[in-house]
Amino acid sequence: MFIVESYGLAVALCWVTMLCWGSWGNTQKLAAKTWRYELFYWDYVIGILLFSLVWGLTLGSTGEAGRGFIQDLLQVSPENFWSAFLGGVIFNASNILLSASMSLAGMSVAFPIGVGLALVLGVFVNYFSVPKGDPVILFLGVFLIVLAIICNGIASGKVSKASGQTTRKKGILIAVCAGVLMAFFYRFVAAAMDLENLESPTAGMMTPYSALFVFAIGIFISNFLFNTLVMKKPFVGQPVSYSQYFKGNFNTHMVGILGGIIWALGTACSYIAAGKAGAAISYALGQGATMVAALWGLFIWKEFKGASKSTNLLLTLMLILFISGLVLIIVSGGN
């Protein structure tokens, strides 16, 4: 299997993760013109599962180092299998909420609040499980990101008050719930992998390639519960049915599958980078997707169009704080 050998390449892959995690939401925005997000989400999940399988059968089965994808799946212990599977279940619960928040409040609100909160909590969870990197610099970077989240929340509150949009307020609350859940999924997946010795992984543990596939299975199976509930009891609007899903055209379904592939590519890069960068740093850099998504929402989808000068100042400060925090997180990994 392909193994990352240098910290520099690991950081580069984390940047790919950041771009992918921050950009998949554009496919939901595109599909939303004719397609409810609950229906879009099925295609998104299918895209994740398909990519994880192809990724494992290609890069996960290339080279002589480590165990091959199929071999690794056959030897995994039940404990580690269910750990990665549970990570997928937790992620899916949080990501459905994030998608709901995005549909109500937009990318520039859902990601900085939901994913930003997940970043902060997740760094603590992952760092204290597997300490790696300079803690002072790392947590200073996290602190700056907390300030960025606060700025975004205040800016969004100003817009909601000025426009009287109750859906935006609901979207913020859902984003907070999504962020709390999302902070914990990565740890379960990381615990199932031997990130310290990818060339000769411990028996019973998984490589990043097989872990991603099991994680994707957890997402797919749990979606029959979580998404069915959201379809029958939506946060806003009328319930949707499975018959509506099968009436979607090919292009509409492909947009959702593309969204899943984009997200899964980012996740795959994060997992194979974690062995060199450490779980906390890999996770934190990937969650810099908040900044990427905020930029998409602000400048492409115009989600704060017509906002006051004070609101725009808060948004500018948010971006500066996010960038500064991410730079510190990168630096912390080199110490």
Q: Rounded to a whole number, what is the distance in angstroms from the first to the last CA of the chain? A: 28
Q: Per-domain residue ranges for the chain?
A: 25-333
Closest CA to 224 of 70, 42, 81: 42
Q: Which residue has the tokens 């450490």?
A: 278
pLDDT of 279:
66
Task: Tell me the two tokens of residue 56.
Answer: 């494992």
List, for residues 199-247, the tens digit of each pLDDT value.
888 999 999 999 999 999 999 999 999 999 999 999 988 999 999 999 9
91 within 8 A of 215, measured Cβ to Cβ: yes
94 within 8 A of 178, measured Cβ to Cβ: yes
Cα 26 to the center of its chain, rounded Å: 14
pTM: 0.87
Question: Along the chain (335 residues), what's the average pLDDT of each consecutive run of 10 residues?
Answer: 86 89 92 92 98 96 85 95 97 95 86 83 74 83 85 78 69 91 88 85 93 97 97 93 95 96 94 77 73 84 84 90 83 68
Burial 215-250, CB ≥16 within 10 A → b, else e: bbbbbbebbeebbeebbeebbeeeebeeeebeebee
pLDDT of 212:
96
Whole-Å CA distances, 24 to 46, 95, 123, 311: 14, 12, 22, 26
- Quick check: helix, strand or coil at residue 193? strand
